[in-house]
Amino acid sequence: MTDKEPKMNYLRRAWYVAGYADELASEQLLARTLLDEPLVFFRRPDGSIAALLDRCPHRFAPLSAGKICDNGASVQCGYHGLRFDGSGACVHSPHADGAIPKAAVVKAYSVLERHGLLWFWADDASEADESLIPDYSKLNGAAEDATVRGYLPTGCDYRLLVDNILDLTHVDYLHAGTLGSGAMTRAKAQVTDLGERGVRIAWLSSGDKAPAVFDNSLRQQGQPTDQWTEVTWTAPANMMLQVGATLAGESRQLGVDSLALHLATPESAGRTHYWYWSTRTFGIDPHANAAIKALLEFAFSQQDKPMLEAQQGRMGGAEFWSLKPVLLPGDAGAVRVRRRLDALIGAEGAER
């Protein structure tokens, strides 16, 4: 653990994405740091996921440098051979006739596999509340040729990435000519509360030509369209985005539509795991998929990521509100979410 660094205040009673479910094959150890905690993940023989603090309690070797044993039922430390099961209990010692020291216990976490993702509960495993995992099942049915998934480690505070997805007026500038058409800046955002842990932001516009990626797949190109963009934030930093366009006055079903996840999990104060998973109802073939994959990868890795990292650099570690950010109409939803997250974290702190 990073004991010497100041600890960030994270929302604890919440689910964070830890990765794609298919990143974790059986008989494999996966090391990943989430919320300042180095973790090691592995699949038990029944397919369920174990997550332990990636630090042996003997001399603090990373357990992820050891090996998986008993078909995934345990992990053996690579230094002196203590073996721990998925609950963190030491189940084997090659020393002292097999006597197991009382203190040989590793902290275990609750991790679930849901909708093709690994979900990490950042508080006591006994209090994990499955009902708080957002329903992303809709993406599971998408064709492989209409799916783009990726991962981008990004050198910024996770909330800058949340801002990025919740204030999509940036597409008109940062992604001008590809994802942006100018329509987002002109559309008025409607912000709706979805209980304590959710906010939806919708931008609707009429009359603009659709961005190229949509326009190419409409029945006629270069025509005025009706466009919709709806993003749903679920605490702490998980976002589902629906974006589409149809020829002006026509039903949504006649147009093109995409459904995507943008999932941010803090690795540490200035580092974020960013997973994106995009599906759509059009261009369902390998050639179109390769072109859209290239477009999205360029936008996210060559435009969003450098901007987020540059923002982080300019902020220099200062607290966001202390810099007195200018507020614009387009960031109403992002600001509401920041305040909501602050309130949720504050309420948890007050209870403890």
Dihedral sign from CA coordinates of 159, 161, 162, 163: positive
**Contact stretch for ligand FES (CB under 6 A) within 29-37, 58-66, 120-128, 344-352:** 58-66
Minimum Å distance from CB 229 to ligand FES?
Answer: 50
User: Measured from the CB atom, is 55 or 338 closer to ligand FES?
Assistant: 55
What is the 8-class DSSP label of residue 231?
E
| Gap between the Cα atoms of 44 and 71, Å rounded | 7
On whether the CB atoms of residues 264 and 160 are closer than 8 A, the answer is no
The gap from C-alpha 275 to its chain's centroid, in whole angstroms, comes to: 5
Minimum Å distance from CB 95 to ligand FES?
Answer: 9
Please count the helices (runs of H) and the strands (runs of E) in the chain. Answer: 6, 17
**Contact stretch for Fe ion (CB under 5 A) within 24-32, 207-215, 229-237, 300-308:** 300-308
Q: Does the footprint of ligand FES cover residue 95 (CB under 6 A)? A: no
Q: Per DSSP, which regions of the chain are E strands?
A: 15-20, 30-34, 37-43, 49-53, 67-69, 74-76, 83-85, 90-92, 108-114, 117-121, 147-154, 189-193, 198-209, 224-234, 238-247, 256-268, 271-280
On whether the CB atoms of residues 256 and 218 are closer than 8 A, the answer is yes
Q: Quick one: what does residue 82 bind among Fe ion, ligand FES, none, with the CB cut-off 5 to 8 Å set by partner type?
A: ligand FES
**Contact stretch for ligand FES (CB under 6 A) within 28-36, 79-87, 242-250, 293-301:** 79-87
On whether the CB atoms of residues 32 and 82 are closer than 8 A, the answer is no
Q: Quick one: what does residue 61 bind among ligand FES, Fe ion, none, with the CB cut-off 5 to 8 Å set by partner type?
A: ligand FES
What is the 8-class DSSP label of residue 195?
S
| Gap between the Cα atoms of 305 and 297, Å rounded | 10
User: Measured from the CB atom, is 101 or 325 closer to ligand FES?
Assistant: 101
User: Measured from the CB atom, is 58 or 186 closer to ligand FES?
Assistant: 58
Contacting residue, 56, 231, 259, 292, with ligand FES by CB under 6 A = 56
Contacting residue, 280, 304, 305, 333, with Fe ion by CB under 5 A = 304
Q: Quick one: what does residue 77 bind among Fe ion, ligand FES, none, with the CB cut-off 5 to 8 Å set by partner type?
A: ligand FES
Q: Quick one: what does residue 304 bind among Fe ion, ligand FES, none, with the CB cut-off 5 to 8 Å set by partner type?
A: Fe ion
Q: Quick one: what does residue 59 bind among ligand FES, Fe ion, none, with the CB cut-off 5 to 8 Å set by partner type?
A: ligand FES
Contacting residue, 80, 138, 188, 219, with ligand FES by CB under 6 A = 80
C-alpha triplet 77, 10, 122: angle, nearest 5°: 45
Q: Does the footprint of ligand FES cover residue 77 (CB under 6 A)? A: yes
| Gap between the Cα atoms of 18 and 245, Å rounded | 32
Q: Does the footprint of ligand FES cover residue 58 (CB under 6 A)? A: yes
Task: List contacts with ligand FES (CB under 6 A).
Answer: 56, 58-59, 61, 77, 79-82
